[in-house]
Structure formats: structure tokens, C-alpha cells
Amino acid sequence: MELCFSEVYGTDLPMAVQDTGVQKQALFAQWALPHKDYLYTACLYLARQRDEAEDLFQETYLRAFRFFHQFTPGTNCRAWLLTIMHNAFKNRYPHYQRASHTIEFDNAAHEYERKRLADGEAGRDDPAELLLSQMVESEVADALHALPEEYRSTLLLVDIEELTYEEAAGVLGCPIGTVRSRLSRARRLLRAALATYAREHGYSREEKSRNEQVAPLHKTGTKL
Amino acid sequence: MTCDIYQDLVAAHVDDALTAVEAAEVRAHLHACERCRRLFEDETRFRAALAARRFIVPVPADVERRLCGALHPEGEAARPFWLRLSAWLGATPLFPRLAFGLAVTGILIVMLLPRAFRSAPAPNLFTQAVHYYQTVTEGALPVEYVTEDPQGLQASFNTSGRLDFMTQVTDLRPAGYRLRGGKVVMGAGHPLAVSLYEGEGEEPIVCLRQRGTLPPLPQGTEGENDHYWYTSDGYTTMFTQFPDYFCVMISRQPKEIFLQHLALAPGS
């Protein structure tokens, strides 16, 4: 066996694109850095611990800078950064990738919707809306973290990062139909969990301001 | 349309992301199903509450500072070496400059003299794979069959009349890698099928296939049953022996991640 390089060196060698560090830094600052708050938020909601989120955030931007030549100008830079973040997350925490949670979903969301329908409340006065507007950041994060990873990622990309369904499908590497169904389930599951929590803690629509501190979901034992 | 199907479409319905055909089917279903109609109303209100909530968290100042510190060295490294050297020399007093010049001269003498009396070591399979990896990923060896379809590239290779074996092309899409294309390279009478894969934010993977059996592998190679891997100089290499040919896959990923990606390929 013998591999020979003579023909590699001897034939069509194009000039590599020479991009100076200064140009690269300027373009990166112009296109990628404006999304840093969105990316940091995504890291916070995807990882379970703040230090994990900060490591993921830094790794994502370093990878993005290193592979910036792969970015296609004119496309959505935030979606490109989120794709890198999602890949880095999968590589770092493969154990977070869980199997389907259909049974838990059915039990939680269907039971809540059935009860609302039976009580004649469906379509109006959902306590989940009220709670969502009153919860502090850590409580929202706890509620989102309690969602199965596949649902959390989808809801995060569409509802928080404001990607289109097509862009979210590209980030997650799945068909657009999967994004639709996961998003439907994620919202219904989150709504059911928040509503249950609101009822357990006596929230009512008249309560406009929160004077008492509400404990985070995971500390009260509320299960999604 | 059934309730189960609608419940999986409700988010797209609320977001007005249905096709015209789907929207018509949904309208017909909601007209007849009060339960799904209520679900749509609930979901519409909840979506509005989600949109009204401010979720975005600003990057803390210390995290941003750490990021800037980590990005800066890469930008510095991208400057040409002679520019950085001249900037450093220009800002340094005379004596350190002289000491630096003497040190460089000494190092060059120590390094170059022995080389003049010894023959260059024969390149092994690993060093050759690294060379191909660098030339292909840096664009010095452009792909000639540009396709993202592994089956298409396999057909192009096998009908080119330039290979002396029937090759396969691995599908790495389940691992998040997109095929960029391939090229046949002639080397010392042995045609070689080269293919390039890229993933978003991931180190590229280069695959080399050649007729014959694997040559002796570098010391420190691990593995058995025709599958071997070797890590050195930041490169991880996977060697596989097939009945008619052998395959070398190389990337700059850590071994665990690289093997994890390869394990996702169909039939691996």
C-alpha cells in the first residue's frame, strides 16, 4: 500500500481564500455578536445549571468564530449560532437526550384539558396565562426545565428565539412535522403544569400584583 | 381529520403556519368539534401570554468579559506572524532584541544541523491521512463530484472507471454531517476515493478509501476485528478493513465524540 501526494501538489491548487483576522473579527462582531443575549438565554433554558450554561455559551461562540467561514451571508445568523449550540449541547450532555415522553404527556396535558372542558372553563380564564405573567425568571426557567428535552428545545427555538418552523427544523435536524407536533405538545404540557401550579397556590385573576414570594416549581414538588 | 391529528397541529394553527389545504381541513374539523375549538381558544390565549412575557436574559458582564478574552487570542493568532513579531520587536529595548536574535540563531543551528545528516522518515498512513485532511478541508484539493447524496457519490465513484474497486460512501447525516462531495486521486498507480463531510460548527471529517489491506498501523493504535483508531496531534483516525479495500476516516475531534458520530452512521 502506498499513498502518494505528488499529484496532490502537482495539480489544480486553487488559491485559498485569505481572510485577515481583522476582517473576520469585524464581520463576526457585526453579524454574530448582536445575538449574544438570545444565545445566552437559550443556553440558560437548555442546560440545567448556570455554570453549564455559561460554558455552553462560550463554547458556542468560540466554535462559531472558528467556523465563521462556513456561515452563509444573508441567512439567519441566529439560527446558525443555535445550530452550533445545539450540536455542542448534544456532544457535551448526551445523557440529556431522552426517549419519548408520550405517556407522561398524555397523563398531564390530556387530564388537564379534559377537566377544563368538563368544568366549562375551556376557552376562557386559563390560570396558566395569569401565572405566566406573574412568575419571576427562575420560576419560568424551572417550569421550562421540567419539560422533556425534545419539547423544551422546540419551544425554546420557536417561542423564545423566534425562529420559523423551517429554521427550527434545521437546527434540530428533524422534519418540520416533528417540530409542529412537539411544539403543540410542549405548549399544552407547559400550560397544564402552570395551571396546576396556579390552582395549588391560590392564584386568581383579581390578584394583579404579587406581594408574596412564590417558591420555584421544583421546590414545591410540582411534577410535569 | 381526527382530534388527535388536530391536537398535534394546534400550535401551527395558532401560529398561522398551516398550508391552505390543512387550514381548510382544520376549519371543517373545528366547525364540528367543540373540544378542539376550545383547545384552539386556550392555546391562542396562552401563545399571546408567552409572547408578552420577556424571556431574553442579558449576558452578565463577567461572562461577556470572559468571552471577549477567549475570542481575542484567536483574532491575534490570525494576524500574520511577522506582523506580530515586528510589533513586539519594535516595542522592545535593544538588549532583549539582541538576546532574542542569538537565541533564535542557536535554536536554528541545533534543529537544522542534525537534519542534514539524517534521512526523512517514511510517511505512515496516519501522517498521509493528516496531509489529505488538511489539503481537502483547506480547499487545496477541491471536490470534483459535488453532491450531498451519499448514494449519488457512490454511483459517481463506481461508474467513473477510475477506481480499481467497488466502494461505498458512508451516510453521516444521522450524526448531523452533510456530505460535501468527493474526488478520485491517483497516487503511485493506486486510485484513492476521497470524500468530505461538514457539520455546522463541527470539525470536518475526511474519508479515504483504497483497494488492498491496511498497512502496519502506528504504535499506540487501539482496536480489533478490523476496526482500529489512533489519536495524535489533535487528530483522531479510524481505520477499517473491508473485504476488498480499507477505509481511513479522520477528523480533529476528540476520540469519544468522533466514534460517537461514526456509530450513528447506518450499518456501522
Lowest mean pLDDT among A137-151, A205-219, B72-86: A205-219
Give percent above pLDDT 70 in chain B: 85
Task: Using the predicted structure, report yes or no on whether residue B43 has a pLDDT greater than 50.
Answer: yes
**For B227, phi and psi rounded to 5 degrees?**
-125, 120
Average pLDDT, chain A: 72
B125-263: CATH, from 3.40.50.920, 3.30.200.100, 3.40.50.10860, 1.10.10.10: 3.30.200.100
Task: Using the predicted structure, report yes or no on whether residue A6 has a pLDDT greater than 70.
Answer: no
Contacts of B177 in chain A (CB under 8 A): none
Contacts of B64 in chain A (CB under 8 A): 36
Task: Using the predicted structure, report yes or no on whether residue B108 has a pLDDT greater than 90.
Answer: no
Option in A45, A117, A159 nearest B38 (CB): A117
Contact across the interface for B46 and A61, Cβ inside 8 Å: no
Q: Which of A2, A3, A83, A183 to mutate: most B Cβ within 10 Å? A: A3
**For B100, phi and psi rounded to 5 degrees?**
-65, -45
| CB proximity list for B59: less than 8 A, separation 6 or greater | A36, A37, A40, A57, B67
* pTM, 2 dp: 0.59
Contacts of B128 in chain A (CB under 8 A): 3, 5
Task: Using the predicted structure, report yes or no on whether residue A216 has a pLDDT greater than 70.
Answer: no
What are the strands of the beta sheet with B235-241, ordered from one edge? B145-146, B178-187, B190-198, B205-211, B245-251, B235-241, B227-232, B222-224
Contact B239, A126 (CB under 8 A): no
pLDDT in tens, B202-237: 889 999 998 888 888 888 888 887 888 999 888 999
pLDDT in tens, A60-99: 999 998 888 888 888 899 999 999 999 888 888 766 655 4
Q: Given this model, what pLDDT does residue A124 score?
A: 58
Q: Given this model, what pLDDT does residue B73 score?
A: 58
Q: Is A149 on the interface with B (CB under 8 A)?
A: no
Contact across the interface for A4 and B188, Cβ inside 8 Å: yes
The ipTM, to two decimals, is: 0.71
Task: Using the predicted structure, report yes or no on whether residue A57 has a pLDDT greater than 90.
Answer: yes
- What's the pLDDT band for A167 if we cut at 50, 70, 90? very high
Contacts of B212 in chain A (CB under 8 A): 1
pLDDT in tens, A21-56: 667 777 888 888 899 999 999 998 888 788 889 999
pLDDT in tens, A115-150: 666 666 555 566 666 666 666 666 777 778 888 888
Q: If DSSP codes are grouped into helix, strand and coil, which group holds residue B215?
A: coil
- What's the pLDDT band for A15 if we cut at 50, 70, 90? very low
Contacts of A40 in chain B (CB under 8 A): 57-59, 63
Nearest CA in chain A to B42: A123
pLDDT in tens, B153-171: 999 998 888 888 889 898 8
Task: Using the predicted structure, report yes or no on whether residue A102 has a pLDDT greater than 60.
Answer: no
Q: Are strands B205-211 and B222-224 parallel, antiparallel or unpaired?
A: unpaired
Contact across the interface for A133 and B67, Cβ inside 8 Å: no
Pick the residue with more confidence: B48 or B268?
A: B48
Lowest mean pLDDT among A102-111, A188-197, B204-213: A102-111
Q: Where are the domains of chain B?
A: 3-52, 61-117, 125-263
Count how many residues are written for chain B.
268
Q: Which of A2-11, B12-21, B182-191 has the highest mean pLDDT?
A: B12-21
Nearest CA in chain B to A85: B201
